[in-house]
Amino acid sequence: MTHASAPALPGPGDPAVRTLLLRGGDVYSPADPFATALLVQDGTVAWVGSDSAAESYARDADAVVELDGALVTPAFVDAHLHATSTGLALTGLDLTGCPSLAEALRRIREFVRAQPAAAGAGGVLMGHGWDEAGWPEGRPPTREELDQACEGAAVYLSRTDVHSALASGALLALVGTGPGTGLGEYPLTRDAHHAVRRAALAWQTPDQREAAQRATLRRAAELGIGAVHECAGPDISSEQDLAGLLALAAEGGATPEGRATPEVFGYWGEAGAVDTARRLGAVGLGGDLFVDGAVGSHTACLHHPYADDAGTAGAGYLTADQIAAHVLACTEAGIQAGFHAIGDAALTAVVAGVRAVADKLGIARVRALRHRVEHAELMTAETVAGFAELGLTASVQPAFDAAWGGPDGMYAARLGADRAAAMNPFAAMVRAGVPLAFGSDAPVTALDPWGAVRAAAFHRTPGHRISVRAAFTAHTRGGWRALGRDDAGVLVPGAPASYAVWAPTDLVVQAPDERVSNWSTDPRSGVPGLPDLTPGAALPRCLATVVNGRTAYLA
């Protein structure tokens, strides 16, 4: 192949190809740091090693792929996303990066006018990504401005953090604005937002939902992602939405082109709903089971008030006792529990609740299920130690720091410089032994696995940086370990053959400590290299993605 083309992989599901040899590239594997060849048999890694040793396998392989210097790595795992909402953002109105309120209103008006049939047929138009924190006007549109732009259409526009939203008057009329609904607030947050989001998603037809989900899985495969964790729940999607996505994945992931799709593992965020999770086929009762909200919407629950709004310290949706009740029910049922928690007060409540269950049932039973916490941003030394003690997995999103961190970012504006600098302390978590799994929380931030690895390795707070290798592990093997699977996410004999092929590039070893980097680049250290992720450098380009031996994407 040329540097611009994909390897000549066999067709997906080709029954004639049970044994496949890839050679002539770089294979990222702890089994052999200098590996250049990979043997796959019946969807499983059978061997890794050198090209010279591969000659003995080439004679018996059903197909041989010449890599021409390409890099082969384990496929990424996105440990937190929302497939339907991401697909709607990919195919609908995406306001991410919109520079001003005036421009947002212009784009909304153009979007509505471009879909007159949908707007006039009682449907709901969806958009995402507005962020008033970066606009020169410093505010979202007024109700009147929004309705003028929507021109009578029912429109739902989630903020970039998906914890508040704008809804046109026509959409609010569909939901109803009676006493106690909270729909008089603006923008919508908390219960009012959940009610409107449920209504907006309910107006999507099954065909629209499936198209959005396929768009997300297709985009994931294009980026070298071989598995995703869908974080569903009654306040973020619906039972029908999760059931549809899992059914789509259970079909064998067939696309119209006959290719596989990334594997999907569903989480259902409803307190104590063990029977519901089992009925839906969810792997855990977590994901977006909200303990609090988000910093950008002033709803992350803090020990002290916001720096830019002294009248609030955020929103707490679950107490430590309620958290304990959920973890107890899950642990006794043998199912993984999880929570969404961002603020320091929310994370303190999570640790207290989980510790209460450990005191009751024994810490070994709690640790065995690897209960998880999504986001885990404003960690303190005490909560880091608590996560390590209780075996809690931190499902985190490095792109949050890239988007909102730093002395001039949204976190600093909302929290003040000191608390902002404490956000997302990945290095402290790694040192304490807290398991990390990386994800995007798409559509909150884009599907961009190499970008996430870069964001963790070049954190805006230097003391929180981790090595590229540790970050890559968190975005590959970490996602599988969060599911209780220790056999996947690494290219060693016996592991599932889920891998990505990347255009040839120079490989380096990057770590925050230059002494470590210098030692690691010595061939005697046996540390395999990864692409250069220095900010400004081009990110690796995916040539192919393979899921359990089946081709999901070819460039």
| CATH code, domain carrying 328 | 3.20.20.140
Exposed, middle or buried, 143 (CB in 10 Å: 0-12/13-18/19+)?
middle
The answer to whether residue 256 scores a pLDDT higher than 70 is no
Q: 449 and 306 in one domain? A: yes
Per-residue pLDDT at 123: 74
Q: Is residue 449 a part of any domain in this protein?
A: yes
The answer to whether residue 252 scores a pLDDT higher than 80 is no
Number of domains in the chain: 3
| pLDDT tier for residue 180 given thresholds of 50, 70 and 90 | very low
Per-residue pLDDT at 165: 86
Domain enclosing residue 407, as ranges: 290-467
The answer to whether residue 11 scores a pLDDT higher than 80 is no
Alpha-carbon span 332 to 325, nearest angstrom: 11
Between the alpha carbon of residue 99 and those of residues 20, 83, 129, 149, 306, the distances in Å are 49, 26, 11, 17, 25
Alpha-carbon span 73 to 61, nearest angstrom: 21
The answer to whether residue 522 scores a pLDDT higher than 70 is no
Task: Give the residue from 550, 12, 489 showing the smallest Cα distance to 229.
Answer: 489
Per-residue pLDDT at 255: 59
Q: 443 and 313 in one domain? A: yes
pLDDT > 90 fraction of the chain, expressed in percent and rounded:
72
Token couple for 492? 């060693």
The CATH number covering residue 185 comes to 3.10.310.70
**What number is the average pLDDT over the span 459-464?**
97
Q: 463 and 336 in one domain? A: yes
Per-residue pLDDT at 3: 43
Question: Helix (H, G, I), strand (E, B), or coil: what is residue 412?
Answer: helix
Q: 87 and 65 in one domain? A: no
Q: 46 and 134 in one domain? A: no
Least confident of 99-113, 186-200, 213-227, 348-362: 186-200
Q: Is residue 268 a part of any domain in this protein?
A: no
Where do runs of H (alpha helix) occur along 236-392?
239-250, 274-280, 320-333, 344-361, 363-368, 381-390
Q: Is residue 194 a part of any domain in this protein?
A: yes
Alpha-carbon span 536 to 78, nearest angstrom: 23
Residue, of 237 and 358, whose pLDDT is higher: 358
Q: 25 and 149 in one domain? A: no
Task: Give the residue from 155, 414, 431, 140 showing the smallest Cα distance to 302.
Answer: 414
Q: 411 and 376 in one domain? A: yes
Q: What would the pLDDT profile of 84-118 be if each residue is shown by its tens digit? A: 989 988 888 889 889 999 999 999 999 999 876 55
Task: Give the residue from 406, 401, 378, 407 showing the smallest Cα distance to 302.
Answer: 378
Q: 312 and 182 in one domain? A: no
Bond from prior residue into 136 cis (ω within 30 degrees of 0): no
- Cross-strand pairs, 554: 544
The answer to whether residue 521 scores a pLDDT higher than 60 is no
Mean pLDDT of the chain: 90
Centre a 10 Å sphere on the Cβ of residue 53 and count the other Cβ atoms it contains. 15
Q: 144 and 44 in one domain? A: no
Q: What would the pLDDT profile of 508-518 be if each residue is shown by its tens digit? A: 988 886 655 55
Q: What would the pLDDT profile of 387-416 be if each residue is shown by its tens digit? A: 999 999 999 999 999 999 999 999 999 999
